[in-house]
């Protein structure tokens, strides 16, 4: 996987609700800010948060990709911004909660094992 392929991989894994594979996109000692505002340090916390979110409000969600911006930071490092629209959200009673705009921002490093995020923020945005 290349940095350019990272957002497509993220969206595909989100679509099949594979929390473990999503967590594996982040370095073992990486950090993540989730859509519900959880700050996670390390893959174990990231996995727990993703499992909870994908079983809750995002259990039926779908990601539609928007604008992508990939900026090289130096040898083997990339800054990624990927806009998404999430639909199929559910509220606490299981009713349709509409859709939201979100942005995935990640610092990606190319390592022996492939591309992984050292920090990943998946946050709600307006517009």
pTM reported for the whole predicted model:
0.92
Residues 10-40: pLDDT tens digits?
Answer: 999 999 999 999 999 999 999 999 999 999 9
127 has pLDDT over 60: no
**Percentage of the chain surpassing pLDDT 90?**
80
CA 95/CA 118 separation, integer angstroms: 35
Helix (H, G, I), strand (E, B) or coil at 108: strand
CA 35/CA 124 separation, integer angstroms: 6
Residues 73-113: pLDDT tens digits?
Answer: 999 999 999 999 999 888 778 787 788 899 999 999 998 87
Identify the pLDDT of residue 114: 86
Q: CB neighbours (10 Å) of residue 19? A: 19
> Which CA distances in Å does 55 have to 16, 38, 91, 111, 119?
12, 15, 12, 31, 23
């Amino acid at each position: 996987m290349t940095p350019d392929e990272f957002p497509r991989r993220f969206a595909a894994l989100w679509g099949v609700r594979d929390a473990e594979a999503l967590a594996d996109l982040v370095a073992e000692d990486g950090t993540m800010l989730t859509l519900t505002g959880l700050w996670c340090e390390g893959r174990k916390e990231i996995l727990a948060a993703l499992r909870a979110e994908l079983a809750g409000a995002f259990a039926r969600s779908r990601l539609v990709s928007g604008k992508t911006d990939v900026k090289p930071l130096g040898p083997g490092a990339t800054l990624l911004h990927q806009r998404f629209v999430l639909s199929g959200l559910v509220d606490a009673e299981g009713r349709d909660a509409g859709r939201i705009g979100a942005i995935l921002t990640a610092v990606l490093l190319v390592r022996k094992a492939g591309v992984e995020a050292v920090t990943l923020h998946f946050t709600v945005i307006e517009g």
